[in-house]
Amino acid sequence: MRRFKIKNKIVGLLVLTPLLFSTVSCKKDFLELAPEISIPSEFVFSSADRIESQVAGIYSSIKNGQFYGGRYLIYNDIRSEEFVNQRQNNVTGYSTYQFSNDETDSYVADFWIRGYLTINRINIFLEGIEEVGTDILPADKKSQLVGEVKFVRALTYYSLVQLFAKPYAADNGASKGIPLRLLAERNSENNDLPASPVKDIYSQIIKDLNEAEAAVPATYGDATTQSTRAHKNTVIAFKSRVYLAMKDYAKVISESNKIVSATAPFKASTGVPHQLAPAIKDVFTNYTINERILSFPFEANNAPGTQNQLGYYYNEGNIEYSLSPDGIFGSASWPTTDDRKKEMTAKSSDGKLNLLTKFSGASPFLDWIPAIRYSEVLLNLAEAEAEAGSQVRALALLKAVRNRSDAAYTFPASPSKATLVEAILLERRIEFLGEGLRVPDLQRRNMPINSEGAGRLVQPNDERYTFPTPLVEIITNPGVNN
Amino acid sequence: MKQRLLSMLVLCVLLIGSAYAQNRQVSGTVTSATDGTPISGVSVRVVGTSTATQTSGDGSYTISVPDNNGSLSFTYIGYQSFQTAIGTRAVINVQLASDDETLDEVVVTGYMVQSKKDFTGASAKVSGETVANRPLQSFTQGLTGQASGVNIIQPSGVLNNPPVVRVRGLSSLSLSSFPLVVVDGIPISTGDVSENSAANNPLGDINPEDIESVDILKDAASTAIYGSRGAAGVLLITTKRGKAGAAKVSYDGWFGSSKAVRLAELMNAEQYIAHKNNAIKNAREINPKLSTASYPVDGGFFPTLDANGNPVDTRWYDFVYDTGISHNHNLSVSGGNEATKYFFSGNLSDQDGILVKNSFKRKGVRANIDHKVTDWFKLGANLNFTNSANNSPNSGSVAGAAFNTSGLGRIAMVQAPNVPGYLPNGDYNVTGSSIGKGANVLAPNYPNPLPIRDLDKNSSETNRFFANINSTFNLLDGLTLNNNFTWDLRNTNNQQFWNPINGDGYSFNGYAYNNSAKSNNWVVLNSLVYNKSFGDHNLVVLAGHEAQSTRVENWGGVRYDLTDWYFNQYQGNFLTNDAGGNGIGENRIQSFLTSLNYNFANKYYFTANFRRDGLSALAAGKKWGNFGGVSAGWTISQEEFFKSSSLANVVSNLRLNASWGRVGNSAISNSYGSFDIYDPTIYGNAGGMIFTQAGNRELGWETSDQTNFGIDVGFLDNRVSLEASYYNKDHNGLILAVPQTPSKGIPGNSILMNIGSMYNRGFEFALNVRAVQKENFKWTTTLNFSTNKNEVTALDNEGRPLIATTAGLETTSITEVGKSAAQIYAVPTNGVNPANGRRIFINRDGEEVQYLHNAPNTEGFYSYSYLDGTRAAGVAGDAVAAGNTLPTYFGGFNNNFQFGNFDATLNFTFSGGNYIYNGTRAGLRDQRIWNNSVDMLDSWTPENKNSDIPRAIYGDNISNGSAFAIQSNIEKGDFIRLQTASLGYRLPSSIFGKSGISSLRVYAAVNNAFLITKYTGVDPEISSNGDGNLNSGVERNSMPNGRTFTFGINLGF
């Protein structure tokens, strides 16, 4: 009888058991978990703020230290005659410096990967914003944001095609270029895509820039935004660089004239009032000064990341590269009276090396990236005028840049066209030392690269003249180079 | 006189003997050979009679024997039975050797404990003794060579670096291939939970001395009860619990000393200076236009003189490696009665590695209790608290760290030997982030290892609490309800500080990164078990429900730019503060499970398992999967026809097993792989978000179908037993991080997809022989031997290979269809051109192409040229799959000896059939400023044209494989190692008197005693990429394993 009672209790327990189970299992959503500190894609076009936040994200994507936030500039300088490697470290470009970087080089591959990642982020954004109604985002704002990201896409494609494909100048863009990706990629399709010809990439760049120019604002409300996001003059300035690479001097002149006055003092009369800063030093201490048309900003919470920082490479940060006595630093054409030499180069602390001190920030190396400067537009225009326009104006533009830093320097009164072009190219070596323009300046004229690292002239027909397509691309896209 | 006395004595003994010849009493004590503790309940029997008794609680017995001609037999479950002639002895003390291989053993099979007789799957059991009292951090290290089908690799000599464990081969490509580890019923996390250079294997939180046994489930029929979690095998850890009887107290302690072995021989200062200057001369000869700044005309390296005017010659190994002293203490109390049993233990382990300042300290306490409340209600509880502190300088030898510039394993090899560590004034010799260059013209590019060793700090400290409470209700005859709640709460603090003087912290002006991780892991299991026999029909049925949740919350910060060098910790004062190491991830799994075990007359066995699992990490609509397995066994030796055949005289056990099952792999590290995700970012001062993950809304289960055939044979009363099995694991629908063309711009260039398949096949043999069973000499030997053939049969739809890198930098591995996974991916080589000393590569068209570094690219001096001197294209992209990295055979040969009070073990392990990429050698022959191994002195010169090492040209990082992997650095990985050898002595119990001590054993042992291999790197059992599936078999700058001598005692009360 007693035992029976116990059994009854046990039956009661049996009834309780499902309750135990239910503590976790019967919650329908036990297995439904969503990421907590990342944002699932269904929310990203839900408000104007989030859409604008995506645009800031796209800018942050191109300014990644592995891309335009450091390495784009670095690769284009260390391949030249201007710098001597001090660390023999492949991570900081030793193989690139020696022209021995091959298709397996993971840092060069990473540059490619970062570039295309930015492009796809833009393509996804462009696809998504299409559907957004005016209830969420006003039409003019929508058009502005589309314009901005198209500008970033053009800048990204230009960086990639410049490093990984033969120059446009070699054969008017007939050479094999790079894959032209314009679709939003989110799934496993479309792995295969052959490289488009160089000229198709340039056409797309120009198309994006023309559309951007029409859509972006002339000015922004504050200096920081104005220096770090694309406005009309930014797009125009960059077009002058692209047309110069295409040797379309007429276009360089017509675009540049939109933002350069006919005579000195040269300045932009519409939009953001760009002009040369009175002293070159100011350009590298005041990042929002009007001479800096586009900069990529860094703050302590979005620093360039290790082994990407300009000050780490060229300055006391780690002295990865010092100035070569065989380069422009040792040239008589760059007198010591020049502010750019006096104020932007110095001896290393042990007195043995010459350093570029333009990027002076120490850790965490927050020197903003000078992506486009007004002095570049002036020299772009000068070169185009020298080649296909007014030699007088060309010389005036050249003087404006030189005499800003070396007032006493005098050029011959009426130089020959060839001498003038040579002087402009030389001026660019001085003015943009460490700003990533040296190798593009050689390539766009199809000239050999006088490599300090390889100890030889690398001719345009050399397979190492441009970067090889990374192995990771070839493996998943075997027809890329066909 | 003496002789006469002696013969009198003998006579007396004989007389006494004969006086008691008819039905006299024999008494004695039975103790365990392993630890000397008394064994109660041993059945003592006069052979051939019905006279029998059992030993009492203190192991003693008294039995009446008929005459001196008979024998006594001693039998007890879990021990080898023992028989001895009585003779004239009045006292017969016996030690029983434990027997892990007897058929009486039990198998813990997930949710149940079964007699091995009833078990028809494939499993291996390793007793706790095997992993106890050894210089290990986690039990996994002790499994090497102990079980067939289980292959363990210790990736480097860093303490508590998680070993690579593979059960029946590589089981996944993109998910974890590490087996599921279940401790007393709760699946726990594995891997490395450290955020810095101090390795922290969470399995090191389990005190090996607390482990009763490790059961390794290998086939699907056994693991199917774990359903989605069983694809890589299951390691079931059962911890010790109290046993009824008088309280037993035992203390185990050991002291050990380890030293680095097999370090590469390096050039001394004089050799270095001469070699490097000659290499500069060679470079200038080839290309006179080379920069004189980087290739000085008069050489770049000169003797640096010390304060006494003698040239500096630094052997950096001496500053980095040291003798590591360790000690370990374990105290336990166990006892109880039939109603209540308890077990308490305390453990302290303090181990120092061979790398200076590498240490592992574990303190832990464990308490458990089993209590029978009524005859139908039992309760149990288990509490365990552990503190594990791991400290290490940057060794460069944990996964992903191979190319760390501050990795001490690497710097000790490559740092210039002609510069000192200290300046004459006692300061560190530093310039910027590197070591000072002394008298050299060219500046070294590696830091001074001394400030890194002395001032940098990396630690990972875990506080871990395990708690389990369980209840069992006997509802009806044979029907029980089990409720189980287990909680595993882990807090890990990772702390890192880099000094501002030199090394990684230099450019930061001091850097600190701290991160704290809280892992909250719990599981609830409720099950009903029905266990009943009906005549010859024996039935066990289980049904249960299980739910587990694991939530890990990480938070932390990065601080740099010290305001004062006085500070050397995160809490000091810094100018820059940023977030770092933050994250939240949660994974949940819910399962319904059932199993049926049936046997008829202990001859025919049948088992079926079914489990339905839901996993939060999979896509909506794809979360649930069904898994299961069946197995059958036939014990032929139980059949009458067999028993009556003559074969039965020789064959004492004959059993056939077969199983099939489907299991899954839920070890997805990405908890949110089905989502398209945007991560927050900052652009200057503006907040933003960026697309960071292309999810797969179709992401479903990865499964594998596994078949197993086994045969167990016992000969001569099971004195010789053999278990043989064949397995075939077909992994289908592998979740693969399918590579996406980088130009598509998919974040991470991959998408998780259910594509791909692979198989693992092989044979396993375990031979167990009680070779000698004399009273005073026993020898047991076990040999296990396993083979494994791995082949990838499908990848993505286009069949394109998977490429993997070493530490994200060097492309070393390829996985392609038709070959085993993780092949070495290297450019073929064909020695050195004797005419000019250039490395000869074979390009994709099979042509020989020679390489010249820093070539001026003029006629005859091209970087790449055919052997006739004409220009050729580069070969870096012409790598091929050039060697299998997965061992095709491996095993262990373990011997236990006992002679009188002495005992000894000799355990060998072996492995082979695989190749290793000796990337360390590429570094040791790199012609940049790095120091080289002495074999470089034998490189090609015009006088030494037959060398297989290319001519030394300064700056050359290609000819010897520093830029891309080359075939000439591939070596065979076959080896045999004396893993452990030990010698112990048990003091005779007579000397303890009334001290209360019941047993005392002292022993000495050596771990990693010697290694026989043709492999020239530090160790063929190495993995610079840790547990990686796709990049195994690579040695890159890793520090070696140590050799450890230990001395210890086992004391019982």
pLDDT for A7 beyond 90: no
Pairwise CA distance, residues B799 & B110, whole Å: 38
- The minimal CB distance from B690 to the residues A13, A121, A480 is found for A121
In chain A, pLDDT over 70 holds for what percent of residues?
94
| DSSP 8-state assignment for residue B952 | P
- The minimal CB distance from A89 to the residues B445, B686, B810 is found for B445
Range B500-514 burial, b when 16+ CB lie within 10 A, else e? bbbbbbbbbbbbbbb
pLDDT of B108 reads 67
- The minimal CB distance from A104 to the residues B796, B863, B876 is found for B876
* Residues whose CB falls within 8 Å of the CB of residue B753, separated by 6 or more in sequence, listed in order: A188, B696, B698, B699, B735, B736, B738, B796
Which residues in chain A have their CB less than 8 angstroms from residue B676's CB? 40-41, 186
Task: Point out the domain boundary residue: B64, B96, B128.
Answer: B96
Treating both helix axes as pointing N-terminal to C-terminal, what angle do A232-245 and A374-388 enclose, rounded to 10 degrees?
40
Q: Which chain A residue lies closest to B377 (C-alpha atoms)?
A: A10
Predicted confidence band at B222 (pLDDT cuts at 50, 70, 90)?
Answer: confident
Q: Domain limits of chain A?
A: 50-467
pLDDT for B717 beyond 70: yes
pLDDT of B1016 reads 96
Q: Has residue B613 been placed in a domain?
A: yes
- The minimal CB distance from B877 to the residues A41, A104, A188 is found for A104
Pairwise CA distance, residues A227 & A219, whole Å: 10
CATH number of residue B34's parent domain:
2.60.40.1120
Q: Has residue B16 been placed in a domain?
A: yes
Please enumerate, as own/partner, the contacts of B306-312 that have beta carbons within 8 Å and a separation of 24 or more: B306/B420, B306/B424, B307/B424, B311/B269, B311/B270, B311/B418, B312/B269, B312/B418, B312/B419, B312/B420, B312/B438
Q: Which chain B residue lies closest to A229 (C-alpha atoms)?
A: B683
Q: Mutate one of A88, A101, A204, A459 to test the B interface: name it (highest B CB count within 10 A).
A: A88
Q: What is the ipTM score, two decimals? A: 0.94
CB contact under 8 A, A31 and B615: yes
CB contact under 8 A, A187 and B694: yes
pLDDT for B551 beyond 90: yes
Q: Which chain B residue lies closest to A114 (C-alpha atoms)?
A: B745
CB contact under 8 A, B877 and A103: yes
Q: Are residues B368 and B511 in the same domain?
A: yes
In B666-749, at which residue ranges do the beta strands (DSSP E only) sit? 677-683, 686-693, 702-715, 720-732, 735-739
Mean pLDDT of B397-405: 90
Q: Has residue B211 been placed in a domain?
A: yes
Which residues in chain B have their CB less than 8 angstroms from residue A462's CB? 857
pLDDT of B105 reads 62
CB contact under 8 A, B677 and A362: no
Mean pLDDT of A25-54: 90
Q: Are residues B516 and B601 in the same domain?
A: yes
For residue B931, give the amino acid letter: N
**Helix, strand or coil, per DSSP, at residue B15:** helix
Range B809-841 burial, b when 16+ CB lie within 10 A, else e? bbbbbbbbbebbbbbbbbbbbeebbeebbbbbb
**Mind listing the pLDDT tens digit for each residue in B65-80?**
877 778 888 887 667 7
Q: Are residues B111 and B56 in the same domain?
A: no
Q: Are residues B527 and B667 in the same domain?
A: yes
Q: Are residues B550 and B657 in the same domain?
A: yes
What CA–CA distances, in Å, run from B666 to B175, B446, B524, B792, B809? 8, 42, 18, 20, 29
Which residues in chain B have their CB less than 8 angstroms from residue A190's CB? 741, 744
CB contact under 8 A, B739 and A33: no
Q: Which chain A residue lies closest to B525 (C-alpha atoms)?
A: A21
Pairwise CA distance, residues B356 & B206, whole Å: 25
Q: Which of A451-455, B107-111, B159-163, B262-266 has the lowest mean pLDDT?
A: B107-111
Which residues in chain B have their CB less than 8 angstroms from residue A471's CB? 803, 811, 876-877
Q: Are residues B556 and B594 in the same domain?
A: yes
**Mind listing the pLDDT tens digit for each residue in B885-908?**
999 999 999 999 999 999 999 999
- The minimal CB distance from B679 to the residues A38, A319, A477 is found for A38
Peptide bond into B887 cis (omega under 30): no
Which residues in chain B have their CB less than 8 angstroms from residue A23's CB? 524
- Considering only residues B355 and B28, tell me which one the structure prediction assigns the higher pLDDT: B355
Which residues in chain B have their CB less than 8 angstroms from residue A458's CB? 857
Q: Which chain A residue lies closest to B798 (C-alpha atoms)?
A: A476
In B192-288, at which residue ranges do the beta strands (DSSP E only) sit? 211-217, 234-239, 245-260
Is B56 in contact with B43 (CB distance < 8 Å)? Answer: no
Q: Has residue B904 been placed in a domain?
A: no
Task: Point out the domain boundary residue: B655, B679, B705.
Answer: B705
Mean pLDDT of A144-159: 98
Q: Has residue B567 been placed in a domain?
A: yes
Residue range of the domain that includes B688: 100-241+342-355+358-391+447-705
CATH class of A50-467: mainly alpha
Helix (H) or strand (E) holding B28: strand B24-32
- Considering only residues B245 and A324, tell me which one the structure prediction assigns the higher pLDDT: A324
For residue A149, give the amino acid letter: V
Which residues in chain B have their CB less than 8 angstroms from residue A100's CB? 853, 863, 957-958, 963
Mean pLDDT of B88-106: 70
Q: Has residue B202 been placed in a domain?
A: yes
Helix (H) or strand (E) holding B924: helix B919-924
Peptide bond into A265 cis (omega under 30): yes
Q: Are residues B669 and B696 in the same domain?
A: yes
Closest-CA distance, A259 to chain B, in angstroms, reads 26
Phi, psi of B788 (to 5 degrees): -150, 130
Q: Are residues B579 and B657 in the same domain?
A: yes
CB contact under 8 A, A35 and B432: no
**Mind listing the pLDDT tens digit for each residue in A329-356?**
999 999 999 999 999 999 998 888 999 9
**Mind listing the pLDDT tens digit for each residue in B647-694?**
888 999 999 999 999 988 888 888 999 999 999 999 999 999 999 999
Q: Are residues B11 and B140 in the same domain?
A: no
Q: Which chain B residue lies closest to A301 (C-alpha atoms)?
A: B578
**Helix, strand or coil, per DSSP, at residue B842:** strand
pLDDT for B719 beyond 80: yes
Q: Which stretches of A165-277 are DSSP H helices?
A: 168-171, 198-215, 223-228, 232-245, 249-257
Q: Mutate one of B434, B513, B701, B743 to test the A interface: name it (highest A CB count within 10 A).
A: B743
CB contact under 8 A, B671 and A33: yes
CB contact under 8 A, B694 and A190: no
Is B23 in contact with B66 (CB distance < 8 Å)? Answer: yes
Is B248 in contact with B141 (CB distance < 8 Å)? Answer: no
Predicted confidence band at B22 (pLDDT cuts at 50, 70, 90)?
Answer: low
Q: Are residues B559 and B636 in the same domain?
A: yes
- Considering only residues B94 and B422, tell me which one the structure prediction assigns the higher pLDDT: B422
Pairwise CA distance, residues B954 & B926, whole Å: 9
**Mind listing the pLDDT tens digit for each residue in B436-475?**
999 999 988 899 999 999 999 999 999 999 999 999 999 9
**Mind listing the pLDDT tens digit for each residue in A35-44?**
999 999 999 9
Q: Which chain B residue lies closest to A312 (C-alpha atoms)?
A: B507
Q: Has residue B271 been placed in a domain?
A: no
Which residues in chain B have their CB less than 8 angstroms from residue A362's CB? 509, 561
CB contact under 8 A, B681 and A186: no
pLDDT of A9 reads 52
Q: Which of B104-113, B254-263, B370-379 has the lowest mean pLDDT?
A: B104-113
Pairwise CA distance, residues B120 & A187, whole Å: 44
Q: Which chain B residue lies closest to A49 (C-alpha atoms)?
A: B688
- The minimal CB distance from A474 to the residues B376, B856, B877 is found for B877
Closest-CA distance, A341 to chain B, in angstroms, reads 21
In chain A, pLDDT over 90 holds for what percent of residues?
88
Q: Are residues B133 and B14 in the same domain?
A: no
Q: Are residues B231 and B107 in the same domain?
A: yes
What CA–CA distances, in Å, run from B1044 to B222, B347, B469, B852, B1003? 36, 20, 39, 45, 14
CB contact under 8 A, B688 and A54: yes
- Our count of domains for chain B comes to 2
For the four alpha carbons of B3, B7, B8 and B9, in that order, the dihedral sign comes to positive
- The minimal CB distance from A87 to the residues B445, B741, B962 is found for B445
Q: Mutate one of A117, A161, A310, A316 to test the B interface: name it (highest B CB count within 10 A).
A: A117
For residue A18, give the amino acid letter: P
pLDDT for A22 beyond 50: no
Q: Has residue B855 been placed in a domain?
A: no
DSSP string, B457-481: EEEEEEEEEEEEEEEEEEEETTEEE
CB contact under 8 A, B677 and A38: yes
Q: Mutate one of B683, B812, B958, B1031 to test the A interface: name it (highest A CB count within 10 A).
A: B683
CB atoms within 10 A of CB B324: 24
Predicted confidence band at A452 (pLDDT cuts at 50, 70, 90)?
Answer: very high
Pairwise CA distance, residues B1023 & B1027, whole Å: 8
pLDDT for B60 beyond 80: yes
What CA–CA distances, in Å, run from B668 to A482, B698, B1028? 38, 15, 14
Predicted confidence band at B797 (pLDDT cuts at 50, 70, 90)?
Answer: low
What CA–CA distances, in Å, run from B922 to B418, B807, B953, B958? 22, 15, 14, 9
